[in-house]
Amino acid sequence: MAITGLSYIAGQWLGNQEGKTFQSFCPGTNEQLPTTFYDATEAQLEQAAEAAQSAFKTYRKLSNQQRAEFLNTIAEEIMSLGDILIETTMQETNLPRQRLEGERMRTMTQLRAFANALEQDLAPLNLNYVDEADANRTPLPKPRTELNFLPVGVVAVFGASNFPYAFSTIGGDTAAALAAGCPVIVKTHNAHPATSELMTQAMDSAIKKCGMPAGVFSMLQAKAYSVSHQLVAHPVVKAVGFTGSFNVANALIETINKREEAIPFYGELGSVNPQVIFKEKAAQDGAALAQQLVASMLMGNGQFCTSPGVWFVPTGQAQFEQAAIEAVKGAGSDTLLTPGILKSFISAIAGFEGNSDVTRLAKGQLDKPYHADAHLYACDVDTFLASEQLQEEVFGPCALIVRYDNEQSLARAVDALAGQLTASVHGTEEELAQNADLISDLHYKVGRIAVGQMPTGVEVCASMNHGGPFPSSTDVRSTSVGLQAMTRFLRPLCIQS
């Protein structure tokens, strides 16, 4: 199980002896790790693309049962990697063991949920439509039409830094595409290349055990962006699954826009996930609610895409604010996933500090210079509305309380919100009923609304939606989590007879 640093191209581990290399990094020690990884070359990408297109012709013909077995086998092979997987990822991400074991479980759940849907011939997806023939219809007889669904073709998947299993090499995008019948080419995230290699070993075993065509999965290691752009520009690629930053997504979209054939780019980008807290609720449960919000915000040290970054709180809720302040002050600091993320976090904090209309309420204890400590700020609605920066996601442990004086100012703030992955409303039953219009308006800003619950924690189920209006995602019609994620890689075919 030694790490080779190579890319995996249609069943072969291929290196690049002449080109670019990179080292992996250990955020826990703030030092580079010794293993060398090799940027995939253009020729290797071409080889992966050709093999994927060739595999598509075989793979798409497999039965749902065969694809289900493949997905279940992948899950088993990931578990068979054993503890070396967890240890390797702990080193590459500094995420704690329990968090990674939970994420590994979630990754199994995703694979098995798709397998289970396939075993039921996709019945849980509600895709079946038939209109029976009617020979007696006038003026013309009616044919029988049946709506079927076909895989779209080869899918490119980009791994995310913050979920090295569930949104990376064999994460939800890969599982959804393979379930749909689409071969996958993964461009790994260079924040956890050894983890990606181990995951690919598991995939390799599953491909061999199930006798799948070799091109059904390839994995490209690369630090250079050029590989990513070549991948999304390749004519055989028919859809892209992406989780990451707005800027990287935008750059990839520019490349995609130059293609002759437009293809869907499913980018899950991020958001501030606003929390709307009503007065009576804050008065009744303020302390408990504040503690829950701080705990939710600190999950993964603020690096969950559903982290609650902006909290709308009635002015003068001292009990709520005090509890939040104490919780943040008591939080130990931790690392962020990459030096780049740490740099962005420091820059965002400097922006908050430099805004004279923003008050710092609390700051956690910084244990080491390369750690990020938790921050809690406050401002009023006008300040929030006047600043683009305050409305943007801070990736890391930071939250902003936006104090509102009355329903009108809260409504103004909600009306101005950009698209969000999720939001929560926290109110008494009476408050939720009284504010039905505002909550309805909030629906149009988000992909998921949680009533009285924390935004973190995205269930893997048929009714989940993890996505949202721009700029939280690039395609408001789609989800990257749950069974519906599979429909991103399917397309309709009507059979008329």
The region of 27-35, 89-97, 127-135, 287-295 touching a copy of itself under the rule CB under 8 A is 127-135
Binding mask 246-275 for a copy of itself (x = CB under 8 A): -------x---x---xx-xx----------
Q: Alpha-carbon dihedral of residues 214, 217, 219, 224, nearest 10 degrees?
A: 110
d(CA 37, CA 27): 17
Exactly one of 378, 471, 480, 486 binds a copy of itself (CB under 8 A); which one?
A: 471
CA atoms within 13 A on the CB side of 64: 12
Q: Which is nearer to a copy of itself, 126 or 365 (CB)?
A: 126
> Omega before 213 cis (within 30°)?
no
Binding mask 402-441 for a copy of itself (x = CB under 8 A): --------------------------------------xx
- Bin 439: left if φ > 0, else alpha if -120 < ψ < 50, else beta: alpha
- Catalytic choice (69, 77, 305, 431): 305
d(CA 10, CA 98): 33
The region of 42-50, 143-151, 155-163, 374-382 touching a copy of itself under the rule CB under 8 A is 143-151
Is position 464 an interface residue for a copy of itself (rule: CB under 8 A)?
Answer: yes
Q: Which is nearer to a copy of itself, 125 or 283 (CB)?
A: 125
Is position 477 an interface residue for a copy of itself (rule: CB under 8 A)?
Answer: yes
CB of 192 to a copy of itself, least distance (A): 24
**Which residue from 233, 52, 268, 59 is spatially nearest to 158, judged by alpha carbons?**
268
> Omega before 27 cis (within 30°)?
no
Is position 289 an interface residue for a copy of itself (rule: CB under 8 A)?
Answer: no
Exactly one of 65, 128, 315, 408 binds a copy of itself (CB under 8 A); which one?
A: 128
Exactly one of 44, 146, 243, 313 binds a copy of itself (CB under 8 A); which one?
A: 146
Exactly one of 6, 62, 117, 152 binds a copy of itself (CB under 8 A); which one?
A: 152
Q: Which is nearer to a copy of itself, 135 or 262 (CB)?
A: 262
Q: In which residue are the tokens 């098995």 written?
A: 112
d(CA 91, CA 108): 22
Which residues neighbour 276 within 8 Å (Cβ) at sequence distance 6 or greater? Answer: 312, 410, 414, 423, 424, 425, 426, 427, 438, 439, 442
Is position 116 an interface residue for a copy of itself (rule: CB under 8 A)?
Answer: no
Q: In which residue are the tokens 């780049």 written?
A: 340
Is position 285 an interface residue for a copy of itself (rule: CB under 8 A)?
Answer: no
Q: How many residues sit close enough to a copy of itself to count as binding (CB under 8 A)? A: 65
Is position 159 an interface residue for a copy of itself (rule: CB under 8 A)?
Answer: no
Which residues neighbour 139 within 8 Å (Cβ) at sequence distance 6 or greater? Answer: none
Exactly one of 278, 479, 480, 486 binds a copy of itself (CB under 8 A); which one?
A: 479
Exactly one of 1, 147, 366, 433 binds a copy of itself (CB under 8 A); which one?
A: 147
Exactly one of 1, 42, 129, 226 binds a copy of itself (CB under 8 A); which one?
A: 129
Report yes or no: 232 and 248 within 8 Å, Cβ to Cβ.
no
- Catalytic choice (69, 268, 392, 393): 268
Task: Determine the residue type at 341.
Answer: I
Binding mask 221-250 for a copy of itself (x = CB under 8 A): ------------------------------
> Among this protein's residues, is 305 annotated catalytic?
yes
Cα separations (Å) of 235 from 7, 48, 260? 21, 13, 9
Report yes or no: 332 and 368 within 8 Å, Cβ to Cβ.
no
> Among this protein's residues, is 182 annotated catalytic?
no
Q: In which residue are the tokens 């070359």 written?
A: 41
Q: Which is nearer to a copy of itself, 252 or 358 (CB)?
A: 252
**Which residue from 256, 213, 375 is spatially nearest to 309, judged by alpha carbons?**
375
Is position 142 an interface residue for a copy of itself (rule: CB under 8 A)?
Answer: yes
Per DSSP, what are the bridge partners of residue 239? Answer: 155
Joined together, the tokens standing for residue 445 give: 């800003």
d(CA 287, CA 297): 15
What residue ranges bind a copy of itself (CB under 8 A)?
Answer: 57, 60-61, 102, 126-131, 139-140, 142-143, 145-148, 150, 152, 253, 257, 261-262, 264-265, 440-441, 443-444, 446-453, 457, 459, 461-467, 469-471, 474-479, 484, 490-497
